[in-house]
Chains A and B, each alone.
Chain A
Amino acid sequence: MKKITISVEFKQWGHGFINIIPSDFKEWDPTVTSSKTFNLDPGDYTITYSTVTGGGGSISITDDTGAELASNDLAAGMDTGNFRLTI
């Protein structure tokens, strides 16, 4: 098992819908700037997101040491994207 933390920052306001595939985790849908930690078994994962924001923001993934594994900027309005991770 390895811990990863997904963090979203909304510059002004926003709502995100974040999935981890494959996994049994229910979607995470943050409505304010926040982060959430997930415990994952070794394997390949896809993290998808769709967001609606005012002023944009960012989304990033860090491991249990705090090192950044991936990140993307979020465009204002509606935005989508995905990350591929090997744990």
Chain B
Amino acid sequence: MKKINLIAFFTCYIFLLHAQQANIAPQQKAKSASDAANPKAVATDTLKQKLTKADSAKSLVRTAADLKSGTSQDVLSSFFKFAYQNLSDGHHFQFNSSLFAIKAKTDTSLWIDTNYNKNVFLRNMVVGIDVGLDSTNKFKSASLSLTYAIVNNRDKSIFDFSTGRLLDHYLKIVNPLYKDALQTYHKEHPAEKDYTNAVNYLFPDIHHPRPKLDSVPKRFIEIIDSIKEESKYSEIKNFKALNMLDSLKDMYNTISGLMSQSSLWTVGGKVTTSQSNTFSKVNFNSEYLKGITRNNTSMGLELDIKANLDIYDTTAMTQKYNRNVLSGTAGINWIIYKSKKTQKSYVEFKPALAYNNVLHGGLPGETKSKFTGDGVLRFRVTDNLWIPFDIKYDPKAGKFFGFLNITSNFDWLGGNKSTKN
């Protein structure tokens, strides 16, 4: 049966990938045909600039989503998520999407950064459906869920829009200043060594390491300080002459590091229907995620706290039970490996302590409250595909249980996407 489920999952996955490709191709063909028929339609600079800006924003948002941990994507999907879960109560096929991702499929103007920034509600609201099958692969339940991020401080796309713009703003001022200073110094002192030291101090790279500060000619520093006095450089007149780019680099790294530690807090609800009951379960949940280590390391830790209230209308042994169950988990998501270069997470493990309390309507022989140990070990196979392995430990029974899941966070945005690291 498991094989059948896996085959069904991969069939759905391949279908979705095919649909994605099929969606891109007609758009490209239609665009080419349209261009040929009416060249003026796409020839204006304004339109080109808008498209470039939207594509650039799309790349930026896509990058930001890739940088999120697998756990973070589980808490709040950036775009679309398709998952197969083999849980204790059967098999589940889940599809989630942010409202933004759905709307952006028909309104590409949402990708223009100002529009993207404005649509907070669409970005923070995720809708989902879940179809559950029993162990004989017969329909068991269907669910509709809504999740909203009431605090979403780790939206790195917004960070990059704002910080990227800020960096651009300062680089537009610093860069011509350094160019003017180097040109002026080069005219006055064409001697190779001093000029080279000045260039390598300002613009070091792997082939041109930064020389010592005292090797930079004093006259060059005087020139920078003198140019800095011009009114067009008033915004940076308090920056140290030789360290303006370093200051900007530090600023970027510091804010980027703080960003990964920021909090994400969601609230949500889920209504489940089954063959026997129109509303067999109503769930209210809340989840809080906060990074507790710096961004620029090859590992990381995230605090993950989740609370659930499940209100059941259950039939067991021909008797109806109305029962309420309160549950919670508190865990630390350990990002075991992430690429230092791309900051993408590849291996994560989240051990957690889970607590269940049957507030009302306990089933015969059921323990009212119990603690269990949970763990999720997840591997990133591609940019889009995660393989999470749920491990549960029941201390009373002294048994481990394992459940293999497959999760695909895909953007369905169209266009090529680099997967290099």
- The answer to whether the Cβ of A38 comes within 8 Å of any Cβ in the partner chain is no
Task: Please tell me if B203 contacts chain A, counting CB pairs below 8 Å.
Answer: yes
How many inter-chain contacts with C-beta < 8 Å in the A-B complex? Answer: 106
Flag whether B56 is at the interface (Cβ < 8 A): yes
Name the one of A11, A13, A46, A80 contacting B420, with C-beta atoms under 8 angstroms.
Answer: A11
Query: Is the Cβ of A21 less than 8 Å from the Cβ of B183?
Result: yes
User: How distant is A78 from chain B, measured CB to nearest CB, in Å?
Assistant: 4
Q: Which chain A residues lie closer than 8 Å to B202 at the CB level?
A: 48, 80
**In the assembled complex, which residues on chain B have CB atoms less than 8 Å from the CB atom of A52?**
164, 167-168, 171, 252
The number of residues on chain A lying at the interface, defined by a beta carbon within 8 Å of a beta carbon of chain B, is 31
Does chain A have a CB within 8 A of B21?
A: no
Among A11, A49, A82, point to the contact of B418 (Cβ < 8 A). A11
Interface flag for A41 (CB, 8 Å): no
A81→B171 contact, CB < 8 A: no
Bound together, the chains give a CA A72 to CA B187 distance in angstroms of 27
Complex interface residues of chain B between 165 and 192 (CB less than 8 A to chain A): 167-168, 171-172, 174-176, 178-179, 182-183, 186-187
CB atoms of B208 and A19 under 8 A apart: no
Q: Which of B57-65, B89-97, B276-284, B302-310 contacts A (4 or more CB under 8 A)?
A: B57-65
A79 to B208, CA, bound (A): 13
B138 within 8 Å of A by Cβ? no
Instruction: Check A55–B56 contact: CB distance below 8 A.
Output: no
A82 touches which of B160, B175, B186, B203 (Cβ 8 Å): B203
Can you name the residue of chain A whose Cβ is closest to the Cβ of B185?
Answer: A21
A46 and B199 contacting across the interface, CB-CB below 8 Å: yes
The answer to whether A46 touches B164, judged by C-beta atoms less than 8 angstroms apart, is: no
Interface check B271, CB cutoff 8 A: no
Q: For the complex, is B342 an interface residue (Cβ under 8 Å from A)?
A: yes
Is the beta-carbon distance between B253 and A76 smaller than 8 angstroms?
no
Cβ–Cβ < 8 Å partners of A77 in chain B: 249, 252-253, 256
Q: Say whether A13 contacts B52, CB under 8 Å.
A: no
Is there an interface contact between B179 and A48, defined as CB atoms closer than 8 Å?
yes
Bound: A19/B56 CA distance, A:
23
Give the shortest distance, in Å, between B296 (CB) and chain A (any CB): 9
Bound: A44/B246 CA distance, A:
27
Interface residues of A in 5-49 (CB under 8 A from B): 11-13, 15, 17, 19, 21-22, 27, 29, 31-32, 46, 48-49
Q: Would you call B208 and A13 a contact (CB within 8 A)?
A: no
B265–chain A nearest beta-carbon distance, Å: 26
Q: Which residues of B contact A82 (CB under 8 A)?
A: 199-200, 203, 205, 208
Query: Which residue of chain B has its CB nearest to the CB of A75?
Result: B341
Sample (17) of A-B pairs whose CB atoms are under 8 Å apart: A11-B418, A13-B160, A17-B172, A21-B186, A22-B183, A29-B172, A31-B52, A49-B203, A50-B175, A54-B64, A72-B205, A72-B206, A72-B207, A77-B252, A77-B253, A81-B204, A82-B208
* B residues whose Cβ falls under 8 Å from a Cβ of A: 52, 55-56, 59-60, 62-64, 160, 164, 167-168, 171-172, 174-176, 178-179, 182-183, 186-187, 196, 199-200, 202-208, 245, 248-249, 252-253, 256, 341-343, 418, 420
Q: Please name the 3 residue pairs, one residue from A and one from B, whose CB atoms are nearest each other, closest first.
A: A81-B205, A17-B175, A54-B63
Chain A interfacial positions (CB closer than 8 Å to B) = 11-13, 15, 17, 19, 21-22, 27, 29, 31-32, 46, 48-50, 52, 54-56, 72-73, 75-82, 84
